[in-house]
Amino acid sequence: MNNSNDTVIIAHDYLCPWCWIGLFQAKRLKEEFPEIKQDWRGYELLPEALGPLPEYKPKPHDPNKPPSRLQLLAELDGIPIPSNRTIGVVRTHDALQSAEFVKERAPDLFDAFNEAVYRAFWERSEDISDRDVLEHIASGAGLDGARLRAEIEEKRYSSRIIGFDDDAYARDITHVPTFVFRGERCAEAPYSTIRLMAERFRAWYKTA
């Protein structure tokens, strides 16, 4: 378990487009504040308890439609949102389990694996609910893909995944990504806000 005195918790789900932006914000944060550790925690947006997945209906591009809040944030932080995607929403429980496997078995490879899962889903429209896909991503990141698959099939890490809505709300997580710096938190925020919180956090733990 990371020491909360020097660790930012990042609540996320691979399914969330805001978390795609959050991935690059977290990378930038690590570059600017390498002394602040990052602890990514899985918050599943669409657990099975919420019922069937919504049907995927791609929206045609409308050049006259004003940009959404998501698009404005992506533009502000210079993060491209992949277009021409061919996949809709999927279950992410096993992908989030896989992340917990990596945190426990090979923490030095977590960042590479985490980014690889995001890129597989958002850039290549791969179905990250498919265990074959997760095993392949793990192997490509230098992990034991077969062992990862076996352990997620056993649901070894299921208890670590927090589901929406009630369980997440009970932990004061109402949106993802949420960056939690000690008692402060921000969700779906521009990098400038995250950076300001990191500066305050760094000043606090150096004197704590």
Q: Is residue 58 part of a domain?
A: no
Q: Per residue in 143-179, pLDDT tens?
A: 999 999 999 999 999 999 999 999 999 999 999 999 9
Give the pLDDT score at 207.
64
The domain of 99 spans 4-53+63-207
Q: Is the pLDDT of residue 2 over 60?
A: no
Summarised one tens digit per residue, pLDDT across range 91-103 is 999 999 999 999 9
Number of domains composing the chain: 1
The pLDDT confidence band at residue 4, using thresholds 50, 70 and 90, is low
* Per-residue pLDDT tens digits for 16-27: 999 999 999 999
The better pLDDT of the pair 174, 5 is held by 174
CATH number at residue 163: 3.40.30.10
**Between 52 and 119, whose confidence is greater?**
119
Secondary structure of the chain in the HEC alphabet? CCCHHHEEEEEECCCCHHHHHHHHHHHHHHHHCCCCEEEEEEEECCCHHHCCCCCCCCCCCCCCCCCCHHHHHHHHCCCCCCCCCCCCCCCCHHHHHHHHHHHHHCHHHHHHHHHHHHHHHHCCCCCCCCHHHHHHHHHHCCCCHHHHHHHHHCCCCHHHCEECCHHHHHCCCCCCCEEEECCEEEECCCHHHHHHHHHHHHHHHHHC
Is residue 32, in this structure, part of any structural domain at all?
yes
pLDDT averaged over the chain?
93
Q: How confident is the model at residue 1 (pLDDT cuts 50, 70, 90)?
A: very low
